[in-house]
Amino acid sequence: MPAVPAQVRIVEVGPRDGLQNESSAISVGLRIELIERLADAGLTTIEAGAFVSPRRVPNMAGSGDVMRALQRRPGVSYPCLVPNDTGLDAALAAGCDEIAIFAAASDTFSQRNISCGITESMNRLGAVATRALDAGLRVRGYLSCVLGCPYEGAVAGATVAALAHELSSMGCHEVSLGDTIGVGTPHQVRALVDEVARRVPVARLAGHFHDTMGMGVANVYAAMLSGVAVFDTSVAGLGGCPFAPGASGNVATEDVVYMLEGAGVHTGVNPERLTGVARWISALLGKQPMSHIALAARCAGLPEDGTP
């Protein structure tokens, strides 16, 4: 049996991917409190915001205020999404030290998401990455629609591998492979990771699975068997992309932590505290948590406010 990594790093994307898709307005104060509670639960990489058009993604407006007001903790990183030079200017002004640039493996999704096709986006992002690296920032890369596009359907693994390689060559320390609409299966995940790993070392790949078809945890496990040791997850399974119709939330952090702890993989996350955060944010957003673990806590009669 292939070995699983001894240690996995979780990139908590709830405050960004999770909240960007919420229909109600979320205050800067609540976003900060969510980030603080996630850090209290032991998460050490917390995606804190996105410097994108406030007209297109209203809930990410004020990301500069979030970054400026946050009491940043040593040992915790707070990357933010940056799509272009305007976004980078705002990220630098807010004192960000890590950004994530994002592209897609589907031309139509790229157009809908960032208003330009793949080729133009890569040119744009190359310049942004160079500027950010010159300014001393760490740069992560995202590639969306790696297992399917809501507009174009199937996406070729060779396209994903070539674009992941391009992002890596721009200086991204890690490339996160996004199943944006959550249609991939474990078998497909393994085949894709193995193909991409021929162009980008697997140690520099991350998995970003949305849970539309309920395959999220299984897909994380499948990617682990292919050597991936970094996963993007969202507390309470919040999330989705406003430009990917039909996509549901990210695989829930607490479900992934439960699976990992059961496999003897160290995450550094306190499961009870994390489940408390999942229940707290779900109650505040007026929704039922989408994770199995948080629902199990509710069935066990634990308090709704997330107190363990």
Residues that bind Mg ion (CB under 5 A): 17
Residue 56 interface partner, choices Mg ion, ligand HMG, none, CB cut-off 5-8 Å depending on type: ligand HMG
- The residue to which tokens 């400026």 are assigned: 68
By beta-carbon proximity to ligand HMG, the closer residue of 5 and 18 is 18
Which stretches of the chain bind ligand HMG, using CB under 6 A? Answer: 17, 20, 50-53, 55-57, 81, 83-84, 86-87, 102, 113-115, 142, 144, 178, 180, 208, 241, 243
Instruction: Name the minimum Å distance from CB 27 to ligand HMG.
Output: 19
Q: What are the structure tokens assigned to 92, written together?
A: 């630098």
Instruction: Name the minimum Å distance from CB 209 to Mg ion.
Output: 9
By beta-carbon proximity to Mg ion, the closer residue of 50 and 269 is 50
Instruction: Name the minimum Å distance from CB 116 to ligand HMG.
Output: 6
The DSSP letter of residue 2 is P
List, in order, residues 6 or more apart from 40 with CB less than 8 Å away: 273, 277
Residue 113 interface partner, choices Mg ion, ligand HMG, none, CB cut-off 5-8 Å depending on type: ligand HMG
Q: What are the structure tokens assigned to 103, written together?
A: 């592209």
Q: What are the structure tokens assigned to 294, written together?
A: 């948080």
By beta-carbon proximity to ligand HMG, the closer residue of 162 and 263 is 162
Q: Is 299 a catalytic residue?
A: no
Which amino acid, residue 13? Answer: V
Q: Are 171 and 129 in contact (CB under 8 A)?
A: yes
Render 4-28 in DSSP notation, one character per residue: PPSB-EEEE-IIIIIHHT-SS---H
Instruction: Name the minimum Å distance from CB 28 to Mg ion.
Output: 22
By beta-carbon proximity to ligand HMG, the closer residue of 211 and 275 is 211
Catalytic residue among 96, 149, 241, 299: 241
- The residue to which tokens 């229940």 are assigned: 279
Q: Are 282 and 288 in contact (CB under 8 A)?
A: yes
Residues noted as catalytic: 241
